[in-house]
Amino acid sequence: MTAHRLLRITAFLQILTALIHASSYLAGFEVRNPTEAQLFELMSTYQANMGGGFSPTYLNLFNALSACFSLLYLFAGLSNLYFLHKNRGAVILDGFVTIQIIVLGFAFMLMALFTFLPPIILTGMVWVLLLMVKFSSKQSASD
């Protein structure tokens, strides 16, 4: 499989990952026991004074970080499609893939350490596909 085809598949998986993660905003959180109820109550009402007049709830901070994850993957996927469509040079594309391998590799490690199975699987698949793109482009350059 060519590097361009692999990168196109990667881009669609990145966009799918962003959409799946963003869809979690549509599902409500179901409290199942008193401990979860207390935790959710504190997260949604307790406002920590973080200085400078900034006092968000922890749920606000959590939602902002969660939105950034979706935006990161949407940005990566759309950028890959843009670079493929504009047919930018192989050097630029190779550099951008390398940056994604590093940045999204860290995201994958963080997901593996701190989250649950769906984000681990999706971020892992994206990272493996990016490695395949890198290896495939190196192999086709040497031919």
Phi then psi dihedrals of residue 48, to 5 deg:
-80, 135
Outline where the chain has alpha helix (H).
3-23, 34-45, 58-86, 90-114, 117-142
Nearest of 15, 1, 2, 35 to residue 80 by alpha carbon = 15
- Position 129 in a domain: yes
Domains of the chain: total: 1
Averaged pLDDT for residues 111-116: 96
pLDDT, residue 141, reads 67
- Position 85 in a domain: yes
pLDDT, residue 83, reads 93
User: Cβ(17)–Cβ(122) under 8 Å?
Assistant: yes
pLDDT, residue 139, reads 76
The mean predicted confidence, pLDDT, of the chain is 93
- Position 55 in a domain: no
What is the residue range of 110's domain?
3-27+63-142
Averaged pLDDT for residues 47-52: 90
- Position 48 in a domain: no
pLDDT, residue 143, reads 60
pLDDT at 88 over 80: no
- Position 41 in a domain: no
- Position 97 in a domain: yes
- Position 127 in a domain: yes
- Position 32 in a domain: no
